[in-house]
Amino acid sequence: MDRRELAWRIRERLTTTAERTQSAVAAPRWNRWRLSAAITEDGAYADIRVCLRRGQWSAAHRAISDGVVAGPARFVIAPSLRANLAARIAADFPTAPPDAHARAARIANGCYDVLGYEGLSFGNGSVDWHFDPVHNRRAPQDFWAQVPFLAPECGDHKIIWELNRQQHLLLLGRGYWLTGDRAFRDSAIAHIESWLRANPPLTGINWASMLELAFRSISWVWALHFFADGTPAVGESAWCVDLLLGLDRQLQHIERHLSYYFSPNTHLLGEALALYVGGQSVPFLSKSAARAAIGRQILIDEMRRQILADGVHCERSTHYHRYALDFYLLALVIARITNDPAAGEFDAAVTSLATAARALADNDGRLPHFGDDDGGALFRIAGRPLDDAADALEASAALTGRQDLRVGIPTEEATWLLAHPSLAPTLDACRAAAAPAPRGSVALDASGYHTIRSPKGAHIVFDAGRHGYLNGGHAHADPLSLTLTVHGRPFLIDPGTLCYTMDAARRDRMRSSSLHNTLTLDERSAALPAGPFHWARAADASTYRTRSAGPFDFIDAAHSGYAPAVHRRRVLSLHDDLLVVADLVTGDGTHRADVHWHFDPSWAIALRSHGATASAKAAFVDISFPIGSADCFSADAEHDLGWHAPVYGRLEPNTTLRITRTAAAPFWVLTVFGLDPANAIERSEVMPVWSAAGVLDHSTAVKVVRASTTDYIVIAEPRAERHASTWRAGALETDAAALFCRFTRANEGPTEVALVDGSLVRASGRRTFDIELGSVVPAAHFGLDELAAPNGGSPYVRDRRLR
C-alpha cells in the first residue's frame, strides 16, 4: 500500500464515519424539497427550479418530462425516436414485438428471471427489494457500510442485487415501445417509486456496492427516456421528480466512494460509466458536467491499466471482458451523441476489447466461460444469452468501422444501441457490407490466451496465462485448460460459475482444476482457494512456443502449480481434422495424473476400448487415448463430476471423461480427437522415440490408425546443445520439436507433412521421402501438391527455404 492508497483509504474511512454519524442522528429519508438545490442554474431549466421551490410537484414533473421530450437527444434513445425505431425493429425483427410483450408481461405480473433462476417472485403484490427468494433470506436494513452482504445469512447478494439493478425496466420499456401497451409503462414507474420507498438513502444492502448503484443509475437513465411523456396521465405520480432526486443521490454516493483500490476493478469502470452517462445524458442536474468529467477521466485512465496490450481485460475472465467491452461501448455511443472529444479514446478501447473478444468468440459469437461468470450484463433488453457477444461485436464494428469484428447476423440489441440519428447510418452501412471471414489463429500474448480457428468453424481457446489479476478474485484453477467448438456447436466446455458466497464448498469445487479441461496431479488442484475471491496459491502458466502454418497449429505451454513437478501441455491441431493434446508430467517420484474433458450436454459420450465416441445430431467426434484408463461421469455425486453451470445460479448435468495414468515421472498422457467423421479413428498406439544420449530432454510419438489414413505425431524437446542431431520414431527421422506425417492406408507416399522448429524429415522403407529445408524454420506445412513425386519417383521436397 503506497502513500496515495493509504491517503485514499483514510479519506474513505472518514467519509463513511461521517455518514454513519449523520444517519444515527437523523434517519435518512427522501425529501423532494432538496431536489431544487440539485437542479442546474441554466436558464433552460428555470421552470423546473421554480416549480420545485414552490412544492409544485406535478408541474415540476411535467416540466422535466417536457425537457426530455423536447430537448436534444443526448442518450441512446429519446421519445422523439420512438415511432421510427419501433417500426424499424418490427420490420427487421418480426418476432420482436410478441417477444417483447411476453417478457414485459411476466415482469408486470411479478414473475422475474434473475441470473440462472427463472420465474422468481419477490413478494406478494409488491416487491421486497431486500429479499432473496431462492434461499428465503432477507438482508438487514442497516447503515450501508455495516451490511455483511457476503455473509450467507443475508441471502445471496447476487440475487438481491440483480433485481435491484432494475434492468428489467429496459424490458418493460421495450415492451411499451414495441406494443404500445401502457400497462408496461405503469409497471415500470411503480417499480421506481416502490424502490425509493423501500430504500431510503444510505440504508440497506442496495447502497453497499457502488457498482450496483451504477447499474441502477444507468437503468434509470434508460427509464427516463423510455417513459417520459409529453402528456402525462391525469393523477400520475411525480415520478420524474423522484427519479431525478434518487439519481442525483446515488451518483453522489458513487462519487464519494469510488472503488479506486478495489479488486477486481471492473467495479471502477462501471462506476465511472454511470457518472459519465448520467452527467452527459441528464443535463438537469447542477453536478452533471463535473460528474461527467470525473467519469470520463477514470475511463480514460483505466484503459491503460485494465486493458492488456493484446486487448484482453486484465482479470482474464471472458465474462468480465465482456463487461469491460460493453462499458466502453456505451461510453463511446454517448460520446458520439454528445460530440465529446473523448470519443477518440473510447473508440480505441472498444477496438482493442472487441478485437480480442472476436478472437475469443466462436463463429457464432459465443464466448467460452474462462474465469468467473456472475450472470450479469450491462445491456439486457432482448434476452440474448450472456455468452453471446454477437450484439456487442456488431455495434463495435459499426462504430469503429472494423467489419472484421462482426459475426454477420443482425442483432436487435445493436439496433437499440445505435438508434440515435447520428449513429444509425453507421449501423446501416455496416450491415450492407459483407461480413469478412473471422481471423484464423491468434496468439494473445499478454493475456496468455491462444485461439485456433478453422474455415469450417472449429474453434479452440487455450489458456496459458497468469492466474487472474492481483488477488485473482475472478480466476479459476484452470492453467492450460482449453475449450473447443466443432461442427458449429460447443464441444469441450468450461464449467462456469454456480455461486459466489452461499456454498463455499461448491464455489471452490467449480473453480478447481478437475472441473476444467486440464490435468490434475495426485488428485490436487493446481491452485488453492482461500475464500470466495482469494487464493492461497496461484498457478501461472507460460508459453514456450506457438506455431502456425496453413491448416496446422501448435502450442507448447507449461505451469508449475504442482511444483516441484511441472505440467507441460502441447496442443497440435489439423483444422477440422485432428486435435492431439499431449500432457507431460516432469519431476521425481510416482504420480497419478487425471486429464478431465468436460463436454457440452448436447453431446452423448460412449466409452470403448482406449477411446470414446461423441455424437450430437449427426455430428461425430472420435476420442482416443492410447495410454491409461478412462471413466465417464454424469451428475456423479461421489466424484462430483459431470456438472456445469451454464449461468450463475443454475447447475446442470453434463458428461465428464477422465483419463487416468499412474507412473514414475516423467511420463505422458495423450488424447487424440478425430474431428472428421469421414476418417474415423480406429485405434492409436504409442511409439518409442530413439535418439543419441543427451540429445532430448523428453519425447513421445503416437500412431493414429484411421479409416483412410495413418497419421504419425512426434513431439520432442531437444536440448540447446543438440547441434545437428536427429531422432527417430518408427521409419521417420527428424530434427523437429513437433512433426505430423500422414500416409494413406494403401502404403502410398505422404499426403501431408507439418513440422515445428525443424529443418528435415526423412522416411525409410516403402514410404521413402526426404524433406530438407536447409535451415531450421519455425513452422512448415506441405500438402499433397507439394509432396507429389517428380517423374514418378520417390516423393521429396529438397532445399526448400521458407520465409
Task: Give a three-class secondary structure readout of 360-383.
Answer: HCCCCCECCCCCCCCCCCCCCCCC
CA 242 to chain centre: 36
- pLDDT for 797 equals 55
pLDDT under 70: residue ranges of the chain? 231-232, 263-264, 721-723, 747, 766-767, 788-803
Q: State how far the Cα of 280 lies from the Cα of 520, in Å rounded to an integer.
A: 51
Q: Are 38 and 248 in contact (CB under 8 A)?
A: yes
The residue among 142, 125, 144 whose CA lies nearest residue 190 is 125
| CA–CA separation, 735 and 722 (whole Å) | 9
Q: Are 532 and 504 in contact (CB under 8 A)?
A: yes
Contact 117, 649 (CB under 8 A): yes
Q: Which of 550, 312, 318 is nearest to 452 (CA)?
A: 550
Render 415-469 in DSSP notation, one character per residue. Answer: HHHT-STTTHHHHHHHHHSPPPPPP--EEETTTTEEEEE-TTS-EEEEE-S-SSS
Could you tell me which of 303, 293, 213, 292 has the C-alpha nearest to residue 259? 213
**Cα torsion 683, 686, 687, 689: sign:** positive
Q: What does the CA dihedral 79, 83, 89, 91 come to, rounded to 10 degrees?
A: -170
Which among 232, 214, 231, 115 is positioned nearest to 165, based on CA atoms?
214
Q: How many helices (H) and strands (E) does the chain have?
A: 20, 35
Question: At 72, is the secondary structure helix, strand, or coil?
Answer: coil
Query: Length of the chain, please?
Result: 803
pLDDT recorded at residue 43 = 87
**What are the φ/ψ torsions at residue 433 (nearest 5 degrees)?**
-85, 150
d(CA 317, CA 91): 37
Q: What is the DSSP string of 235-272?
A: T---HHHHHHHHHHHHHHHHHHT--TT-SSTHHHHHHH
pLDDT for res 451: 96
CB 139 within 8 A of CB 155: yes
Phi, psi (rounded to 5 degrees) for 405:
-80, -20
Q: Which helix (H) or strand (E) holds 170?
A: helix 168-179
| CATH number of 451-679, picked from 2.120.10.30, 3.40.50.2300, 2.70.98.70, 2.60.40.1180 | 2.70.98.70
Cell of 731: 521409419
Peptide bond between residue 666 and the one before it cis (omega within 30 degrees of 0): yes
CA distance 579 to 126: 55
Task: With beta carbons less than 8 A apart as the criterion, state whether 618 and 344 touch.
Answer: no
Q: Minimal CA–CA distance to 787: which of 767, 771, 776, 763? A: 771
Distance (Å, rounded) from C-alpha 802 to C-alpha 773?
8
* Delimiting residues of CATH 2.70.98.70 domain(s) in the chain: 451-679
Measure the CA–CA gap between 523 and 294, rounded to whole angstroms: 49
**Burial code of 596-619, b = ≥16 C-beta within 10 A, e = fewer?**
bbbbbbebebeeeebbbbbebeeb
